[in-house]
Structure 1
Amino acid sequence: MTDPWANAAAAARVTVGADLHLELRGPRLRAGLMDALRDAVRTGRLAPGTRLPSSRSLAADLGIARNTVADAYAELVAEGWLTARQGSGTRVARRAAPRRLPVPAPAPAGGNQGRAPAPRTAARPPARPRRGPLHSLHPGTPDLGSFPRGEWLKAARRALTAAPHEAFGYGDPRGRPELRTVLADYLARARGVHAHPDRIVICSGFVHGLMLMAKVLRGRRVRGVAVESYGLDVHWSLLTDAGLRTSVLSLDEQGTRTDTLGTQGAVLITPAHQFPLGGALPPARRAAAVDWARRAGALILEDDYDGEFRYDRQPVGALQGLDPERVVYFGTASKSLTPGLRLAWMVLPEALVGEVAEAKGPIDWASGALDQLTLAEFISSGAYDRHVRSMRLRYRRRRDQLVAALAERAPHIRVSGIAAGLHAVLELPPGTERSVVQAAAWQGLALQGLDGFRHPGVERTRDGLVVGYGTPTDSAWAGALDALCRVLP
C-alpha cells in the first residue's frame, strides 16, 4: 500500500525544487558544487526527475554567487547529469538507476578471506537521452509554421476555378504547362536561368529529379559522377545504387576544385551556396567547370537548393546561365515554401528533354496537378515573391541573432557560410564535435556535426556543427539559441 503522505511530499519536492544538503569541498566553489551534485545523483540521493532549486534559491542557501550556481547547472546539463527546460526548471536527468556497491557476504570459516573485494563501478550516463528533442537546429528545413496558408488557399481556389477539364486527367510527364510557363519566366528573372517551358520537367523533389538523371546517365553509358567533398549521403547513395561510380573533388579555402575534373561523365555541385560549408563557387571555378563539360561532352548537375536566400550581397546567379546545353538545373520549393509540397523542377538541355520524360514515365504520376496549378497561380500573382522577401528578412534576422549570441557568449567559435541560406557552420576545437552533439541531445537540442556530411572518401580534418536556423518556430528560437550557446566548448 502506498503512503499518500510520501507521494504528496515527493510531488511538492518536484514542484518547488528539492531542499538540498550539499557540502562544498575545496577552494573552487563551482567545482565543489558540481562534485557535490554529481555525488548526490550518483548515490541516488537525488532521484531521476527531481527538480532542483532555482539558481537564486540555491545560491542564497549556500551563501555563494548566483552565477556560480547557474554556471554549475549549465555545465552539468552539458555533461548529461541534469536537464533544463524552459518552464520546467532544472531537473536530474532520467538515467539508469545508479549501480550500488555489492554487499560482500560473510566469508565462511576457513574460506578464502584474502579474496579481493568487488571493484567499484560508477554509474555512467546512458548513450542517448530518454526523451525526444525539444528544439531542432538541423539544417535544410524552413520554418514550417510560416507557410502562407491563407495566400496558398486563395491561389488554390483561383487555380481550381480556372483549371481546364483535362487538368484532372493523366497529365504530360513533364508537368502542367501552366507551371512550366510561369517557372520559365520566374527563373529567368530571379536566378538568371535560360529556360523555355518545353525544357522544364516537374518532379517531386530534388531526389526524384536526381533519380531520373541517374537513369538517363546510365542509359548514356556514363560510368562516373564527380561529387563534392561535403554533401548529403542520400545523394551519393542514390548515384551508386544506380550503378554510377562517385569520385570526390578536392576542396581548398576557395571551395570545390573544379579544375581537377577529369574523365567523369557528370558532376554534381552546389555552386551558389555549397552544402553544407556555405561558400559560393568563385567565377574562375564556375568557368572551369563549364569549360570541362564542353571539352569532355559531360554534364553539370546544378543543385540550386536555396538560391533565393542571400543576405550580404547581390544574388549569385545560376551556373546554368553560362551554358544551358551543358548544365541540368535543379530547383525546388522545399526551402522557399515547404518540403511537404513535393514540388521541384529541372531545366534541361534540349537533347535531354525526351530522355528525362521517358525516364519519368508516360504520365505525371509523381506530382499532383492541383498543387502544380496552385503554385503556378501563387507565383504569377506575386504572392511567391512577397513570401520569399518576407522570409528572407526573417531568416536574416535569425542569422544575425545567431552571430551576435556567439560573439557574446562563445567568441572563440568561428562562424562561416552565413552569406546565404538557412544554416551556418560553427568551427569547433579538434576532437570536440561528438561530445558537443551528445551534450546537446541530453538537454533536448538536436544538432548535426559536420562529419555527418563528409564523403567517406575524404579524410577527416575538421570538427564543426552545421546549425540550421530556419527550422525553429519564432517562439522556440530564443530557447534553441540559448541551449546551443550552453553546450559549446
Structure 2
Amino acid sequence: MAESWATLGVDLHLEPTGSGLRRGLTDALREAVRTGRLAPGTRLPSSRTLAADLGIARNTVADAYADLVAEGWLTARQGSGTRVGMGAPPTPFGQWGSTVVPPADPSLSRREQHRPTYDLRPGTPDLASFPRAEWLKAARRAFTAAPNDALGYGDPRGSVELRTALAGYLARARGVRTDPERILICSGFAHALGLLSAILRSRGTRTAAVESYGLPPHWNLLTAAGLRTRPLPFDELGTDPGGLGGVGAVLLTPAHQFPMGVPLHRDRRTAVVDWARRTCGLVLEDDYDGEFRYDRQPVGALQDLDPDRVVYLGTASKSLAPALRLAWMVLPPGLTDEAVAAKGGHDTCGVLDQLTLAEFITSGAYDRHVRAARLRYRRRRDALVAALASRAPEVRVTGIAAGLHAVLRLPPGTEKSVLQAATWQGLALHGLTYFRHQEAVAEPLDALAVGYGTPPDHAWAGALDALCRVLP
C-alpha cells in the first residue's frame, strides 16, 4: 500500500518569494539556513514531501536543493538525505537543542567560571538519586492504563488518580484528614502560595504573619499579592504565636521549622489552631520535608487538629525532584471552590507526570524510595556531625533530627568571614542572615544553614573537607 504524503518526512515552514518558483524556493531555503532557523545538521524533507507540502512540482524542489548543495548551504548523501551543511554560519536562532555553538555571553562565562565545586545550600535533594528506572516503569503502567479522556484539559483540581493516591498517602504517612475532592494539584509550592495569597487579598486580608526565619521568595509572593508580612518571635520552642493579633493568616513550617530545624511545641500548635478558630484566621502549613525524620517520631500534620482552618501544603520537590513541578494543597471545605476558581478552568499541571506519580505512590515505589533516601541522608548527616566534632569543635550543630539540612552555630561575628572563605574554596553556602526577616526583632545569630541533600554520595566526603576548612 502506497504511503500518503501526509505521513512522510518532517514539517518545514517556507514562504517562497520573488519571481519564479525555483528561485523563490531557493532564496527561502538559503535565508532559513543563513539566519539559523535551520540549524547545521538539520535533515530536510525529501523533495517529494516538500513538493507535496508546497503544492509544486517535485523537480522544482530537487533543483532548488541541488543549487544549495552546489553553494555549500546543504549537503546530500546517499541514504542520509539532504541536510543543512555543518559549515553554515551559526546564529542565535538555532542555538538551543542543535549543534550550533551559542554566541559568546560574557556574563554566562563568568557564571560558569565561578560555579561552585560543592553546593551546600539547603532546599534541593540529591538529584543523582532520582529513581529513574522505577519512575519509567510507573510511567509505562500509568500511560497504558490511562483512559483517553485523561489526556484532555482535565479537572482544574488535578487528575483524580493523583488526588486519590495523595489522599490515602497523606492520611497514612502524615495524619492529614481529607478526601480527593479537597485536594488541589499545583505547579510547585510557589504556585500554590501565589493562589492562596490572591485569595487572602480578595477576602480583605491585609497582613499575614510569617516566621522570623524562612524563605524570602515566599515572603515576596505574599507581598506581591498586596499583603504585609509580619514576623513572629522565635525561641527554642519554635515560632511564638503570641503575636498573631491583627493578622488574617499565618504561614508556618510546624513539623520542622525552616531553616532552624525545630518542631513547633505542642502547646504552640494548639495555640495557633485556637487563634484560627477564634478569629476565623487561616493557617498555611508548609510541610516541605515531612518524610525525612531520623531521631524522633514523625510530627504529624497540624492540619489534623482542625481541617477547617488549616491549609496543608506539600510537594514532591524534596522527596523526588523540583523539576517535576508538582505540589498539592489540602483545602478546608470553605476554601475549595475559591482555590479551584483561582487556578482556572482547566488543569494547568502536566497530567502525564501526575498519572506517573499516582502510580508511583499506589505501587509502593514512593515509600521504598523515601525509605532509601531517608537512610542515605541520615548517613550524610551523621558524617557531617562526626566531621564537625573532630575538626571544628567550636561549631555547634542544631536542627538535625529531621530534614535535609543542619544549622551550624558559629562564634559571634564570624558568619560573614566564613561565607567569604567558602567562596574562595568553591563552596556554595547560605548564612542564617539570608533567611532572617528584615523586621524580625530577635537578635541576629551567626550561623550557617548547610544542606546535605544536594551533593551526590561520591562527592560528600570532598564537600565535608571543604566545609571544615572554612569553619573557625
Asked if Structure 1 and Structure 2 have the same fold, meaning a TM-score greater than 0.5 normalized by the shorter chain, the answer is yes
User: How far is the alpha carbon of 1:130 from its aligned partner?
Assistant: 5.6
**2:203 maps to which of 199, 217, 220:** 220
Work out which of the residue numbers 174, 177, 185 in structure 2 matches 1:194.
Answer: 177
Q: Are residues 1:371 and 2:353 paired?
A: yes
Determine helix, strand or coil for the equivalent of 1:202. strand
The CA deviation at 1:461 is 2.1
Aligned mates of 2:419, 2:171 — CA distance in 1: 41
Equivalent residue, structure 1, for 2:41:
none
Give the distance between the partners of 2:437 and 2:426, measured in 1 at CA.
28
1:235 partner letter: H
SS at 1:424's partner residue?
strand
Counterpart CA distance in 1 for 2:418 and 2:272 is 37
Q: Is the 8 A contact 1:447 1:467 kept in 2?
A: yes
Who is 2:116 aligned against?
A: 133
Q: Which residue of the partner structure matches residue 157 of structure 2?
A: 174
Instruction: Give the SS at the match of 1:393.
Output: helix
Distance 2:166 2:115 in 1: 39
CA deviation profile, 1:305-332 (whole Å, cap 9, x unmatched):
0000000011000000000000000000
Aligned partner of 1:316 among 292, 296, 299: 299
Find out whether 1:301 has 2:284 as its counterpart: yes
Q: Does 1:330 align with 2:313?
A: yes
The secondary structure found in structure 2 opposite 1:179 is: helix
Gaps of 5+ in 2: 1-110
Q: SS of the residue aligned with 1:470?
A: coil
Aligned to 2:257: 274
Deviations 1:279-323 (A, max 9, x none): 000100000000000000000000000000000011000000000
Distance (Å, rounded) in 2 between the aligned partners of 1:444 and 1:223: 43
Counterpart in the other structure of 2:446: 463
Q: 1:245 aligns with which of 228, 237, 247?
A: 228
Unmatched tracts of structure 1, length 5 or more: 1-127
User: Which residue is equivalent to 1:416?
Assistant: 398
C-alpha offsets along residues 376-411 of structure 1, whole Å, 9 cap, x if unaligned? 000000000000000000000000000000001111
Out of 323, 340, 343, the position equivalent to 1:357 is 340
The CA distance in 2 between the partners of 1:380 and 1:479, in whole Å, is 38
Deviation at 1:228, TM superposition (A): 0.3
TM-superposed deviation, 1:248 = 1.1
CA shift for structure 1 position 360: 0.3
Question: 2:45 is matched with which residue?
Answer: none
Structure 2 Cα separation of the partners of residues 440 and 179 of structure 1: 42
Q: Superposed, which structure 2 residues align to 1:59-458 within 5 Å? A: 131-365=114-348, 367-458=349-440
Amino acid in the other structure paired with 1:403: V
Cα deviation 1:320-365 (Å, max 9, x = unaligned): 0000000000000000000010000000000111000000000112
Q: Secondary structure of 2:288's partner?
A: coil
Does the 8 Å CA contact 1:293/1:299 hold for their aligned counterparts?
yes
Tell me the C-alpha RMSD between the 2 structures. Answer: 1.3
1:487 matches 2:470? yes
CA-to-aligned-CA distance 1:94-130 (integer Å, 9 cap, x gap): xxxxxxxxxxxxxxxxxxxxxxxxxxxxxxxxxx996
What's the CA shift for 1:478?
A: 0.5
| Matches of 2:113 and 2:392, distance apart in 1 | 28
Q: Which one-letter code corresponds to 2:161 in the other structure?
A: E
Matches of 2:151 and 2:425 in 1, distance apart? 49
CA distance in 2, matches of 1:209, 1:417: 27
Contact 1:230-1:277 at 8 Å conserved across structures: yes
Residue 132 (structure 1) shift: 1.8
Aligned counterparts of 2:242 and 2:230: Cα–Cα separation in 1: 14
1:195 to partner: Cα distance: 1.1
Contact kept? 2:406, 2:451, Cα under 8 Å: yes
SS in 1 for 2:191: helix
* Partner-residue secondary structure (3-state), 2:366: helix
Displacement, 1:259?
Answer: 2.5
CA distance in 1, matches of 2:331, 2:115: 42
Which amino acid in the other structure matches residue 286 of structure 2? D
- Contact kept, 8 Å, 1:191 with 1:307, in 2: the verdict is yes
Q: Letter of the 2:331 partner, please give it.
A: L
* Overall identity of the aligned pairs, in %: 71
Q: Is contact 1:413-1:427 (8 Å) kept? A: yes
AA in 1 matched with 2:317: S
- Report the Cα distance in structure 2 between the residues aligned to 1:195 and 1:389, rounded to whole angstroms: 24
How far apart in 2 are the matches of 1:252 and 1:282?
Answer: 10
SS at match of 2:230: strand
Report the count of equivalent residues: 362
Q: Which amino acid aligns with 2:436?
A: R
Asked if structure 2 preserves the Cα contact closer than 8 Å seen for 1:263 and 1:296, the reply is no
Q: Is the 8 Å Cα contact of residues 394 and 411 (structure 2) preserved in structure 1?
A: no
